């Protein structure tokens, strides 16, 4: 009777397996499948879009089983899997705080192989729903068509914020948000219309940030949490080309200083401590409470001859938002003598615990530095470490925090060394990160054929609802000028 | 049925002759132009690629047009595609005219827009998708006029305007005009409605592009006049075929041909109409067709195949006074090792015949070709820079020729992941797939790369010491190439000739003394002799200073004579041109630089 029961159970299992389409008696593979995008053992937020993928093998048929919580389903394809959105989101919700088990069977050269199963870890904490970025052909000094776009991270919907095809001959850059708020945004226009567009709720203002005193436009921005101030660097930026095989472009400053824009009365304020002739100051960023302004600083050099000797330290100065004044001394937080390298793109986490930055051999435009990696400064104990879990052999540079401080996005060129792609990773309270994953796309081949880079990825808590016609009308209007004041 | 016979003669035989003529015209006289046009796109038969067309009006016309443009790659493919497309356009117009104007409409009426298309297509920047968009719009009109119940027809008309705009762009104006005129002709509209419908038609035709322009990311003018991504600022010839179709449709609808005392089928009228067609065609082609461009593109084709001897022979035959022609002539001379001997035998527009710039204001020819000289000189990174900019400024920011060059560059540079990306894209194309597959063998395979002669040759001249430079620092580039590899003779000749063509004798002399070694040539090349002799003639140097080099006695004698004649005639070029027009001395004295 026992034997009969065993046979019956086996037959039943076989029947279930055949009904669900799972191949019987496959060859057991001992390795993880090679997938693109790589989703094996990654950690995802509960609200991310379906992670469609293809298998990098000569697959004739593909069967994939997803299981998490009480949800499980099997999907089939030839060499790729498109996951229905509804099923995927239900699976993530059920697996939040736990993981999704993924098993893959692939028919290769006539026989079925079962790869080692893997997990997708699902965090309960959602990531900010939108990602804003600039889509542009990579590198070099000119542009043809480019624009600022936003992508709903819970789906595959992408929409335009502004595109230069509406403004022929112009380029836009440095889009920035106040603590991930879609209602407080700015970006610069460069070209025939040189201006900074400031969006505060329903109000759109066109600013001319070039003053008689600075002689330059404001460039790299960062918002004060109050929304009343925006710190900028004013940079004179140059771009040159390498002639050797393994390098392409060098971007550097020949002049740079810091200013803070008082948005209420359109006034640039600065301090002699951050507006100097003997050093380059750039990439300002406020602390989470707005009381400290961090920035990168390096000694000036003879450019471009000494381009690879310019190394930036991370410095700070206090800032009093009530009076709009700076402190009376600059502190070096991480010195270039300590790292032997150069710091760029410092960004403080919204909870005030960490400051993430990019470390490269020299200079500040780390996007073109293959050795550029992400590092983390613990603001409580001042410890510094590389985020090894997310770094790669190619440039890992610009990054942005999600408003919950646990997720971050960063721009990486790991796919091919040239095109910048947004990757996401989780960072726990101790500063430990997880294996990153690329922005999911409906078609797994998307990045193979996409000839645009996704530059300056910024996480945004909601949809940016700019009124296109109003924006264009403001762009066409006269820019409002700003005043300049050095506060001793 | 004698009348029927004449009818057939006029209505069918002439168009058939017309199509055969267009086949021969495009196959024989625009072969290189159309071959080049195909290289300005990367067409993939994938769903994602198709989706890319929805970002602009005229998605269907553009997609079909680009699909057909692929067939410009094989010999006679372009002539076949264009002839068939023109034939389809004529057939559609013929049916429309017959349906709306009857059989008495002169055959000139449907043929005239096709002639205008023919002429427009001889331009490098008039894509076949523009003809397809006309065909789509006429097809909509045909369906519209076929609907008998007036209300149904009018409803179809109103609904169709946005659809024609989406599928065929500004050819929507054809449909809107036909809709308006047809309804007026039918006189079915009475009272208030007689005003309302025309107003609705105009409002929709103007309103739809303006409403959709933010979605399509277009300026109001672009939205109302959108033809294709090919041309940023379309000119009169881009719109003439469209205007021609509107006029033809209007004429066939508005004139009551049965009542016109015009014997369209008579021999005289047939002759007169053929005369008009011939005149319009000849006038159009004369206005639009660029014969020199075809010759330049032939030079390009031969250069792309590495037939430098042929490039030089053709340059001698064509004698073009054009900087891009000079660009190829100079490259051919350098490749054949005769540049400094033969430089002044050919038209030299100063340094613009050595390098051509690339930026958004240049045309598709220059942005595609500007990387060639860097590639051949060995400045692979500069070639890469130029190829990327060229790609960015290409229609839809894609260019198969430049993508091929980027594959070569990234293989030479060992940047295999980038090369692989482009290989993967080109493998999906119909006519570049085999080439891309062949390149795949070099990816991540140093052994295979080492076996390849062209990769070895390119890698041998890549600079080993780094230099930072901006995009147009030609002298810095050439000096760097010569310093890194003194055996790079092409770079040396380009450097010295650059100075000479810029009439910068001090720089020429300085770099000559630094980089040109005695014994490099048995006899000092002619243009170098002539350049150095200027120094002797002006007494800045003595013959003893150049005693290490072998001067031709004949050149020295000519210099003396040139100096004598120059002084005797008080520097009159007309006295010197016959005998010395092809010497560097004449160029030095009489060439006028752009900024002079």
Compute the nearest-CA separation of A231 from chain B (Å).
31
CB-CB under 8 Å, A142 with B417: no
Least confident of A127-136, A324-333, A386-395, B461-470: B461-470
Reported as a single tens digit per residue, the pLDDT across B489-519 is: 999 999 999 999 999 999 999 999 999 988 8
Whether B232 sits inside 8 A of A140 (CB atoms) is no
* pLDDT > 90? residue A77: yes
Distance CA(A169)–CA(B361), nearest Å, equals: 10
Query: How many other C-beta atoms are found inside a 10 Å radius of the C-beta of residue A432?
Result: 13
Q: How far apart are CA B396 and CA B364, in angstroms?
A: 12
- CB count within 10 Å of CB B577 equals 12
B12-31 burial, b if ≥16 CB within 10 A, otherwise e?
eebbeebbeebbebbbeebb
Give the pLDDT of residue B232.
72
Q: Residue A470's closest chain B neighbor by CA?
A: B214
Contact flag B44-A307 (C-beta cutoff 8 Å): no
A168 and B381: CB-CB below 8 Å? no
User: Which domains are delineated in chain A?
Assistant: 27-123 (2.60.40.10), 130-480 (2.120.10.30)
Chain B, nearest residue to A471 by Cα: B214
Angstrom distance (rounded) from CA A119 to CA A66: 9
Residue A424 buriedness (CB in 10 A; 0-12 / 13-18 / 19+): buried
CB neighbourhood size of A411 (10 A) = 25
A37: cis peptide before it, omega within 30°? Answer: yes
Beta strands in A242-303 (DSSP E): 249-262, 267-270, 279-286, 292-299
Greater pLDDT, A5 or A351: A351
For chain B, which residues make up each domain, given as ranges? 2-289, 295-350, 354-462, 517-590
Chain A contact set for B218 (CB, 8 A): 165-166
- Cβ-defined contact of B218 to A165 (cutoff 8 Å): yes
Q: What is the 3-state secondary structure (H, E, C) of A226-237?
A: CCCEEEEEEEEE
From B89, B78, B84, select the one nearest B117 (Cα to Cα): B89
Residue B270: which pLDDT band, with cuts at 50, 70 and 90?
A: confident
Contact A142 B392 (CB under 8 A): yes
| CA A36 to the chain's CA centroid | 20
Quote the ipTM score: 0.91
CB contact (8 A) between residue B417 and residue A443: no
For the record, the structure tokens of A142 come out as 């000119």
Share of chain B above pLDDT 70, in %: 94
The span from the CA of A187 to the CA of A150, in Å, is 14
The pLDDT tens digits for B109-153 are 899 999 999 999 999 999 999 999 999 999 999 999 999 898 999
Evaluate if residue A178 carries a pLDDT over 90: yes
pLDDT score of A3 more than 60: no
Contact B138, B93 (CB under 8 A): yes
Cβ neighbours, 10 Å, residue B542: 10
Mutate to test the interface with B, among A144, A413, A452 (most CBs of B within 10 A): A144
Contact of A192 with chain B, judged by CB distance below 8 Å, is answered with no
Over residues A434-479, the pLDDT tens digits come to 999 999 999 999 999 999 999 999 999 999 998 888 888 899 999 9
pLDDT value at A198 more than 60: yes
- Would you state the pLDDT for residue A95? 97
Cβ separation of A415 and B417 shorter than 8 Å?
A: yes
Structure confidence at residue B472 (pLDDT): 81
Residue B11: CB atoms within 10 A of its CB come to: 20
pLDDT digits (tens, 9 = 90+) for B14-40: 778 888 999 999 999 999 999 999 999
Alpha helices in B265-399 (DSSP H): 267-288, 291-304, 308-318, 323-336, 339-342, 364-369, 371-377, 380-392
Q: Which tokens is B41 given?
A: 């796109």
Query: Which pLDDT score, from 0 to 100, does residue B267 have?
Result: 74
Residues A151 and A463: their CA atoms lie apart, in Å, by 9
| Structure confidence at residue B160 as a pLDDT band (50, 70, 90) | very high
Tally the C-alpha atoms within 13 A of residue A380's C-alpha that lie toward its C-beta. Answer: 7
Measure the CA–CA gap between B260 and B256, rounded to whole angstroms. Answer: 7
Within 8 A of B471 by CB-CB distance, chain A residues are 141, 241
Q: Other C-beta atoms within 10 Å of B460: how many? A: 11
- Across the interface, do B468 and A143 touch by the CB < 8 Å criterion? no
* Cα torsion through B173, B177, B180, B182, rounded to 10: -130
Q: HSE of A345 in the Cβ direction (CA atoms, 13 Å)?
A: 27
Q: How far is A449 from chain B (nearest CA, A)?
A: 6
A417·B418 Cβ contact <8 A: yes
Chain A residue numbers with beta carbons less than 8 Å from the beta carbon of B418 are 416-418
**Mean pLDDT across chain A:** 92
Rounded to whole angstroms, how far apart are CA atoms A13 and A5?
A: 12
Q: How many CB atoms lie within 10 A of CB B555?
A: 17
For residue B464, what pLDDT band results from cuts at 50, 70 and 90? Answer: confident
For residue B264, pLDDT over 70 is answered with: no
Q: What is the mean pLDDT of residues A118-130?
A: 97
| Chain B residue with Cα closest to A245 | B413
CA-based radius of gyration for chain A: 25
Q: Is the pLDDT of residue B7 over 50?
A: no
Quote the pLDDT of residue B165: 98
Give the model's pLDDT for residue B3.
44
Q: Is A476 on the interface with B (CB under 8 A)?
A: no
Nearest CA in chain B to A448: B421
| DSSP 8-state symbol, A73 | E
Contacts with B395 (C-beta within 8 Å, 6 or more apart), sequence order: B40, B41, B127, B228, B229, B230, B364
pLDDT confidence tier of residue A13, bands split at 50, 70 and 90: very low
Task: Tell me the two tokens of residue B458.
Answer: 């390119």
For chain B, the straight-line distance linking the first and the last C-alpha, in angstroms and rounded, comes to: 73
From the list A140, A247, A416, the residue facing B421 with the nearest CB is A416
Predicted pLDDT of residue B258: 65
Q: Which fold has domain B354-462?
A: 1.25.40
Q: Label residue B5 by pLDDT band (50, 70, 90).
A: very low
Q: B595: pLDDT confidence band, cut at 50, 70 and 90?
A: low
Nearest-angstrom CA–CA distance, B380 and B363: 23
| Beta carbons of A219 and A232 less than 8 angstroms apart | yes
Half-sphere exposure of B529 (CA within 13 A, CB side): 22
A144 with B360: Cβ contact below 8 A: yes
B chain contacts of residue A141, beta-carbon cutoff 8 Å:
471
- For B409, the token pair is 């560059």
Classified as helix, coil or strand, B315 is helix
**How many CB atoms lie under 10 A from the CB of residue B9?**
14
Set of chain A residues whose Cβ sits within 8 Å of the Cβ of B389: 140, 142
Contact A34/B at CB under 8 A? no
pLDDT for residue A396 is more than 70: yes
- Token output for A86: 């509804």
- What percent of chain B is modeled with pLDDT above 90? 69
Instruction: In whole angstroms, give the CA distance from residue B235 to residue B288.
Output: 11
| In contact, B15 and B84? CB cutoff 8 Å | no
Give chain A positions within 8 Å (CB) of B415. Answer: 417-418
Highest mean pLDDT among A455-469, B233-247, B430-444: B430-444
Judged by CB atoms closer than 8 Å, whether chains meet at B219 and A307 is answered as no
Q: How far is B495 from chain A (nearest CA, A)?
A: 17
CA distance A267 to A274: 16
Query: What confidence tens digit (pLDDT) does each residue in A86-103 have?
Result: 999 999 999 999 999 999
- Count A/B contacts: CB-CB distance under 8 Å: 110
What is the distance between the alpha carbons of residues B162 and B165, in angstroms, rounded to a whole number? Answer: 5
User: How far apart, in whole angstroms, are the C-alpha atoms of residue A343 and residue A413?
Assistant: 18
A451 touches chain B (CB under 8 A): yes
Read off the pLDDT of residues B339-375 as tens digits, 9 standing for 90 and up: 999 999 999 999 899 999 877 677 899 999 999 999 9
Averaged over B445-473, what is the pLDDT?
A: 91
Report residue A470 as tokens.
């109003």
Task: Tell me which of B223, B421, B491 to substitute to probe the interface with A (most A C-beta atoms closer than 10 Å).
Answer: B421
Instruction: Inspect the interface and report whether the beta carbons of A140 and B463 lie closer than 8 Å.
Output: no
pLDDT at B447 over 70: yes
pLDDT band at B196 (very low <50, low <70, confident <90, very high): confident
Give A221 to chain B, closest Cα distance, Å.
Answer: 27
- DSSP secondary structure string for all residues of A319-379: EETTTTEE-S-PEEEE-HHHHSSEEEEEEE-TTSSEEEEEEESSSS-GGG-TT-EEEEEET
């Amino acid at each position: 009777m026992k034997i009969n029961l065993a046979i019956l159970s086996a037959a039943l299992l076989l029947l279930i397996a055949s009904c669900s389409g799972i191949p019987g008696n496959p060859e057991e593979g001992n390795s993880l499948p090679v997938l693109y995008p790589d989703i094996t053992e990654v950690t995802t937020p509960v609200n991310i879009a379906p992670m469609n993928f293809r298998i990098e093998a000569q697959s004739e048929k593909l069967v994939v089983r997803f299981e998490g919580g009480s949800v499980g389903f099997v999907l089939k394809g030839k060499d790729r899997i498109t996951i229905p959105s509804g099923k995927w989101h239900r699976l993530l919700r059920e697996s939040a705080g736990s993981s999704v088990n993924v098993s893959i069977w692939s028919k290769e050269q006539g026989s079925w192989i079962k790869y080692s199963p893997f997990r997708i870890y699902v965090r309960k904490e959602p990531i900010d729903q939108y990602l804003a970025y600039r889509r542009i052909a990579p590198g070099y000094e000119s542009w043809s068509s480019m624009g600022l776009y936003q992508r709903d991270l819970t789906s595959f919907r992408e929409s335009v914020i502004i595109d230069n095809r509406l403004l022929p001959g112009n380029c836009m850059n440095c889009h920035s948000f106040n603590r991930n708020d879609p209602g407080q945004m700015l970006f610069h226009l460069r070209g025939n219309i040189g201006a900074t567009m400031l969006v505060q709720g329903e109000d759109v203002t066109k600013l001319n940030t070039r003053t008689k005193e600075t002689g330059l436009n404001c460039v790299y921005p960062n918002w004060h949490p109050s929304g009343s101030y925006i710190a900028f660097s004013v940079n004179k930026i140059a771009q040159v080309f390498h002639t050797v095989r393994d390098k392409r472009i060098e971007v550097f400053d020949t002049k740079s200083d810091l200013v803070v824009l008082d948005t209420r009365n359109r006034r640039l304020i600065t301090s002699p401590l951050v507006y100097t002739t003997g050093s380059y100051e750039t990439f300002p960023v406020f602390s989470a409470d707005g009381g400290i302004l961090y920035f990168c600083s390096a000694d000036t050099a003879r450019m471009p001859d000494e381009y690879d000797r310019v190394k930036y330290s991370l410095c700070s100065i206090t800032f009093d938002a009530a009076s709009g004044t700076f402190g009376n001394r600059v502190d070096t937080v991480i010195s270039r003598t300590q790292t032997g390298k150069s710091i760029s793109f410092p960004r403080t986490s919204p909870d005030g615990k960490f400051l993430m930055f990019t470390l490269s051999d020299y200079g500040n435009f780390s996007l073109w530095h293959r050795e550029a990696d992400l590092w983390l400064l613990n603001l409580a104990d001042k410890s510094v470490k590389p985020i090894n879990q997310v770094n790669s052999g190619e440039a890992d540079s610009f990054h942005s925090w999600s408003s919950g401080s646990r997720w971050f996005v960063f721009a990486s060129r790991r796919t091919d060394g040239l095109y910048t792609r947004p990757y996401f990773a989780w960072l726990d309270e101790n500063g430990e990160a997880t294996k990153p994953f690329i922005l999911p796309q409906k078609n797994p081949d998307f990045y193979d054929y996409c000839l645009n880079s996704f530059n300056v990825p910024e996480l945004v808590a909601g949809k940016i609802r700019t009124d296109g016609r109003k924006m264009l009308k403001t762009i066409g209007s006269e820019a409002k000028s700003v005043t300049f004041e050095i506060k001793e | 049925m004698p009348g029927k016979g004449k009818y057939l003669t006029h209505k069918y035989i002439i168009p058939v002759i017309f199509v055969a003529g267009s086949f021969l015209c495009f196959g024989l006289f625009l072969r290189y132009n159309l071959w080049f046009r195909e290289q300005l796109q990367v067409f993939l038969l994938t769903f994602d690629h198709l989706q890319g067309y929805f970002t602009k009006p005229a998605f269907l016309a553009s997609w079909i047009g680009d699909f057909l443009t692929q067939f410009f790659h094989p010999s006679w493919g372009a002539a076949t595609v264009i002839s068939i497309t023109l034939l389809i356009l004529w057939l559609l117009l013929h049916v429309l005219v017959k349906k709306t104007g009857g059989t008495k409409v002169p055959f000139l009426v449907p043929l005239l827009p096709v002639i205008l298309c023919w002429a427009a297509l001889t331009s490098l920047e008039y894509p076949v998708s523009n003809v397809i968009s006309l065909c789509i719009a006429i097809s909509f009109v045909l369906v519209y006029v076929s609907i008998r119940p007036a209300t149904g027809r009018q409803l179809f008309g109103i609904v169709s305007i946005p659809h024609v705009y989406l599928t065929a762009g500004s050819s929507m104006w054809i449909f809107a005009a036909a809709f308006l005129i047809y309804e007026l002709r039918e006189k079915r509209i009475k009272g208030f409605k007689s005003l309302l419908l025309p107003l609705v038609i105009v409002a929709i035709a103007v309103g739809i592009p303006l409403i959709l322009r933010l979605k399509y990311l277009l300026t109001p003018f672009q939205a109302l006049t959108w033809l294709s991504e090919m041309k940023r600022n379309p000119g009169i010839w881009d719109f003439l075929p469209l205007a021609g179709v509107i006029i033809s449709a209007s004429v066939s609808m508005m004139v009551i041909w049965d009542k016109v005392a015009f014997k369209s089928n008579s021999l005289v009228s047939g002759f007169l109409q053929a005369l008009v067609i011939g005149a319009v065609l000849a006038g159009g082609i004369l206005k639009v067709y660029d014969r020199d461009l075809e010759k330049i593109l032939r030079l390009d084709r031969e250069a792309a195949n590495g037939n430098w001897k042929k490039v030089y022979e053709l340059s001698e035959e064509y004698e073009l006074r054009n900087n891009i022609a000079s660009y190829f002539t100079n490259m051919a001379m350098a490749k054949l090792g005769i540049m400094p001997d033969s430089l002044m035998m050919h038209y030299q527009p100063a340094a613009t015949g050595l390098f051509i710039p690339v930026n958004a204001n240049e045309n598709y020819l220059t942005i595609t070709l500007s990387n060639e000289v860097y590639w051949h000189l060995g400045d692979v990174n500069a070639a890469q820079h130029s190829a990327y900019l060229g790609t960015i400024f290409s229609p839809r920011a894609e260019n198969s020729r430049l993508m091929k060059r980027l594959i070569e560059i990234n293989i030479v540079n060992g940047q295999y992941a980038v090369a692989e990306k482009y290989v993967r894209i080109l493998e999906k194309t119909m006519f570049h797939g085999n080439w891309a597959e062949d390149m795949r063998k070099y990816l991540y395979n140093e052994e295979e790369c080492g076996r390849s002669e062209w990769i070895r040759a390119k890698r041998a001249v890549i600079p080993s010491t780094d230099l930072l430079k901006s995009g147009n620092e030609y002298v810095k580039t050439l000096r760097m190439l010569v310093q890194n590899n003194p055996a790079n003779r092409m770079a040396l000749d380009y450097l010295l000739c650059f100075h000479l063509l810029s009439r910068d004798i001090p720089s020429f002399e300085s770099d000559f003394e630094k980089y040109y070694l005695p014994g490099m040539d048995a006899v000092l090349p002619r243009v170098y002799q002539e350049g150095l002799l200027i120094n002797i003639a002006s007494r800045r140097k003595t013959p003893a200073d150049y005693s290490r080099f072998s001067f031709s006695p004949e050149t020295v004698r000519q210099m003396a004579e040139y100096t004598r004649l120059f002084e005797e005639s008080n520097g009159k070029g007309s006295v010197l041109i016959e005998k010395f027009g092809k010497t560097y001395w004449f160029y030095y004295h009489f060439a006028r630089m752009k900024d002079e």
